[in-house]
Structure 1
Amino acid sequence: MFFTVALVETFLMHMFTTAGALLGALLLLLVIYLLSIDSSNSPEKEKEPPGPKPLPLLGNLHQLDLRRLHVSLSDLSKKYGSVFQVHFGPKKVVVLSGYKTVKQALVNQAEEFGERDITPVFQDINEGHGIVFANGESWKTMRRFALSTLRDFGMGKKLIEDKIIEETHFLNKVFEHFQGNPFDTTQPVNYAVSNIISAIVYGNRFEYEDPKFKDVVDRANKNIRMIGSTVIQIYNMCPVLGPWLKTWTELMKNIESNRREMQELVNRLQETLNPLDCRGFIDSFFIRKQSIEDSGENASHFHDQNLLITVSNLFVAGTDTTGTTLRWGLLFMAKYPNIQDRVHEEIDRVLAGHEPATEDRKNLPYTDAVIHEIQRLADIVPMNIPHSTSCDVHFNGYFIKKGTCVLPLLTSVLKDENEWETPNTFNPAHFLDENGQLIKRDAFMPFSAGRRMCLGEGLARMELFLFFTSLFQHFRFTPPPGVSEDDLDLTPVMGLIYNPSPHKLCAVSRMERQQN
């Protein structure tokens, strides 16, 4: 059984190392049992979504592969339909599958499904603050402020476009340094993308060799992997286990280290703050806070903890998602050289040697379609981030209680067999009409939808286009010598965000290639 494998890997390693851990586990099981008795005695008067029958205490964990949970849930949807429920231990979760069902919930009933379900690990990290794992007035205030400030600093505009174009120069130089030899693209890509958020938040970029910058970005990337691990999934079901889980302990240490580094930067910016010269998001935060206080109002949501966690959210959302998607793009192009050939041909013909700009997107429909298909097939957040119902909901003939955790499966949207001609194949034609022009597909939801959709979508789209186009204007990406395209592994590494498996690529200068 899948759950047995996970328990062997986790519980035997972490849980029974001390007598105290065993006692804590027994107490936990007693609490869970009492809770399950309480919930089982509550009369249900309305029809709930169908689903597999749960076992006492374990729920449906014995039927789920925690290492590929999105696949297990997708398989269950084939049996139970587009709305069904499962139990992660004692916790009931309603799963939404397929484009029409997910859209109905997140778009058509956005208010009812608009709350965030905050699991124990995200409560530990965010403590109810920030903009991703928060609810209520604090979330509304911080989201509005973040969105308006990002726009003020050029999200989707020429100002930020210039910063991205500048950063493409630094990234290209790093790739050139390897002189066509195999290398791991993870760090340079993550550093480049992180610098765009740094420019918006702090008002400046960092050198890729800056040790503190490297440590912060690398730790954040590692944290994303750990948060999605089997161990942390089990912790979310049994949080009392935290102190005995090595992964949880390491995660908390990494979070604290990054917060200290961030606090130092915030302190320096606060000491040199000039309201007449706003350098970035952090300056705007302090200026807004002072403005509210000067007006005699209570700036209750504009406090240091909310600032640090909001900034952390921006970095995670703005670095890992875009950086991961870009690395998937490089891997896909090395895997499918014929598609890469067409990208090169279009870029050479349209740009004719000049530096790519956002306005070129409309004249590069095939390249744009390829980027869309990378986002679709990479499917980097297949589970979405859990939602919660804000009230009792009647949905598609079923009753869902207020406060129920809801998983709108993005993978079921991006690979919906009723929406995509070849859902499991890399096919840029999904986004092209008969004349080769880009078309909009309603089931294209890599940024989710509704009240909780990614607020940095415009920035991410601009970054992906400019970084991708610049890199393929300068380089051809190939597998390492002795490795064929067929050998390149497209199996993702599990995490909160699904990264490509560890691999190396060769970035061959196209100028040198053409001269030879």
Structure 2
Amino acid sequence: MPEQCFLRWRRKYGNIFTIWFGEQPQVCVAEFNKIIETFQKDGEAYSGRFTFEEFDKLVRGGTYGIIMTEGEFWRGQRRFALQIFRDFGLGKNLMQDKILSELELLFERIEEEIKEGKDVDFGENIDISVGSIINNFLFGYRFDNIQDFIHPWSLIRLWPSLRYLPFVNSYFEYLKGVDNQLFDFHKRQIKEHLNSINSPPTDFVEAFLLEKQQKDLIGVPHDFTIEQLVGVANDLWFAGQETTSTTLNWGIAFLINNPNVQDKVHAELDSIIGDFDRIITTADRPSLPYLNALINEIQRMANLVPLNVAHKLTKDVKIDGYYIPKDTTIIPQISAVLADGEIFENPEEFSPERFLDENGKLKKVDELIPFSIGKRQCLGEALARMELFLFLGNLLNKYKFMPGNDGIPSLKRINGGTARCRKYKCRIIRREESCSN
């Protein structure tokens, strides 16, 4: 696994080392305190982004979006996106209500498959739910079934896994075709919005288009172009879908592989919630330390971004006496931190207890940084945390997850843009029935 390779190199070469992709050096910071010292305490210096500008120009006309842009352009677009997240209730009851509405529809799909006596493809079902939440935020509609969802999702999954590989030229025509299809999907959604823009806006695209209209009217230069909107939609769709649904899919796979852990979280839910049909909300979070510890351990073990995301220095820096010039590619090796045995004892073991103190209370572990750190910290972190708690809490309160006919899910990862879980089906049992037997 990549993180184990980074840990071996750290032991051999030290906390900071350089790897080479052809003629391109990449400096790696592979120790937690050094990551804090650099990417957090001097965040602006480490906030640049390494990009293939010529490739982006050939494929999509330029570098757009939020994830792969930098400088004032990136700061302005990130600030706007965060404001719209806040306006639409991110971290508040409004967003919670939307998540819980999707959860009810997920329950309906699961109940239908239970009724038919089928093993359930959990990953497919959670993809629809999480995809509908971010799609509703962006474009104002949800997916009614898997067929609506499959096309954009398959393209989103292909793109980040391949786009920034150093040998990308051999995939150029293939990637260009994928990219054109993906952006055509987003352009169609945006084109429909152009015909009727609501004020106040009801989704992100409308908010962006209203901002564009206002700046066009007063005649000031701005970055709120249709090309940028397509890029932002792509970034937010991927960030809001891939990481959360993949984490939840891993979570159920870990629980099926570790039934003792599932028993413990069920015991906590029975003690605190005490009703299989009661909907858990974020107000319950402080009362459920084991569930919170479980979510932390799922994120640590899933270790979703094994290769980490490359940054670029915006000025010359010195780290531990090493001079590193401006524009150097530099990477915080967060995946190595999450797998570091000096921080997390027996890191290969699935153990939520590592996040609990001797009194069973949730303890803060600073080294758990699955959403990155510094200026490039995930802007959708609040939404993702809410989704993970509400989905896992309510699913585990209502159901027990067991191996399907094909056996327990494999924990062997599929490494790409993110570390995905292999496809599996599981048996889902209503807890009210399993407890009464």
TM-score computed with the length of structure 2 as normaliser: 0.93
Helix, strand or coil at the partner of 1:178? helix
Aligned residue pair count = 431
CA contact (8 A) 1:149 1:281 kept: yes
CA contact (8 A) 1:329 1:374 kept: yes
Structure 1 residue 103 and structure 2 residue 7: aligned? no
Counterpart of 1:442? 366
CA distance in 2, matches of 1:348, 1:206: 33
- How far off its partner does 1:226 sit? 4.2
Structure 1 residue 481 and structure 2 residue 414: aligned? no
Counterpart of 1:503? 424
- How far off its partner does 1:225 sit? 4.2
* Aligned residue type for 1:79: K
Structure 1 residue 193 and structure 2 residue 130: aligned? yes
Structure 1 residue 458 and structure 2 residue 393: aligned? no
Structure 1 residue 143 and structure 2 residue 67: aligned? no
Counterpart of 1:91? 24
> Could you give the per-residue CA deviations for residues 134-184 of structure 1, whole angstroms, max 9, x where no partner exists?
012221111000011011101101000000001011112222232253343
CA contact (8 A) 2:31 2:333 kept: yes
Structure 1 segment 111-510 matched on structure 2, within 5 A: 111-119=44-52, 124=59, 127-179=62-114, 181-209=118-146, 211-227=147-163, 233-236=165-168, 239=169, 241=170, 245=171, 248-275=172-199, 277-298=200-221, 300-353=222-275, 354-481=278-405, 483=407, 488-510=409-431
- How far off its partner does 1:455 sit? 0.4
Q: Relative to structure 2, which stretch is displaced further, 281-290 or 450-459?
A: 281-290
- How far off its partner does 1:122 sit? 6.3
CA distance in 2, matches of 1:459, 1:422: 30
With over 3 angstroms needed to count, the CA separation of the structure-2 counterparts of 1:125 and 1:452, relative to structure 1, is farther
> Could you give the per-residue CA deviations for residues 374-433 of structure 1, whole angstroms, max 9, x where no partner exists?
001110012221011111111121111111111211112212233223322211122111
CA distance in 2, matches of 1:453, 1:82: 21
Q: Relative to structure 2, which stretch is displaced further, 119-128 or 188-197?
A: 119-128
- How far off its partner does 1:126 sit? 8.2
Where does structure 1 lack aligned partners over 5 or more consecutive residues? 1-67
CA distance in 1, matches of 2:96, 2:85: 13
Where does structure 2 lack aligned partners over 5 or more consecutive residues? none
With over 3 angstroms needed to count, the CA separation of the structure-2 counterparts of 1:223 and 1:479, relative to structure 1, is farther
Q: Relative to structure 2, which stretch is displaced further, 348-357 or 367-376?
A: 348-357
CA contact (8 A) 1:278 1:284 kept: yes
Helix, strand or coil at the partner of 2:95? helix
CA distance in 2, matches of 1:482, 1:270: 48
With over 3 angstroms needed to count, the CA separation of the structure-2 counterparts of 1:382 and 1:166, relative to structure 1, is same
* Aligned residue type for 2:118: N
TM-score computed with the length of structure 1 as normaliser: 0.80
CA contact (8 A) 1:224 1:496 kept: yes
CA contact (8 A) 2:187 2:230 kept: yes
CA distance in 1, matches of 2:392, 2:56: 32
CA distance in 2, matches of 1:444, 1:407: 17
CA contact (8 A) 1:384 1:448 kept: no
CA distance in 2, matches of 1:168, 1:94: 43
CA distance in 2, matches of 1:292, 1:348: 54
Q: Relative to structure 2, which stretch is displaced further, 218-227 or 316-325?
A: 218-227
CA distance in 2, matches of 1:186, 1:134: 31
Helix, strand or coil at the partner of 2:157? helix
With over 3 angstroms needed to count, the CA separation of the structure-2 counterparts of 1:226 and 1:479, relative to structure 1, is farther
- How far off its partner does 1:74 sit? 2.6
- How far off its partner does 1:288 sit? 1.3
CA contact (8 A) 1:122 1:133 kept: no
Q: Relative to structure 2, which stretch is displaced further, 467-476 or 446-455?
A: 467-476
Helix, strand or coil at the partner of 1:233? coil
CA distance in 1, matches of 2:251, 2:26: 33
> Could you give the per-residue CA deviations for residues 265-289 of structure 1, whole angstroms, max 9, x where no partner exists?
11112211122x4111111111112
With over 3 angstroms needed to count, the CA separation of the structure-2 counterparts of 1:397 and 1:131, relative to structure 1, is same
CA contact (8 A) 1:388 1:405 kept: yes
Q: Which has the larger radius of gyration?
A: 1
With over 3 angstroms needed to count, the CA separation of the structure-2 counterparts of 1:255 and 1:156, relative to structure 1, is same
- How far off its partner does 1:482 sit? 6.5
Identity level (%)? 32
CA distance in 1, matches of 2:317, 2:346: 34
- How far off its partner does 1:108 sit? 1.2
* Aligned residue type for 1:416: D
CA contact (8 A) 1:176 1:507 kept: no
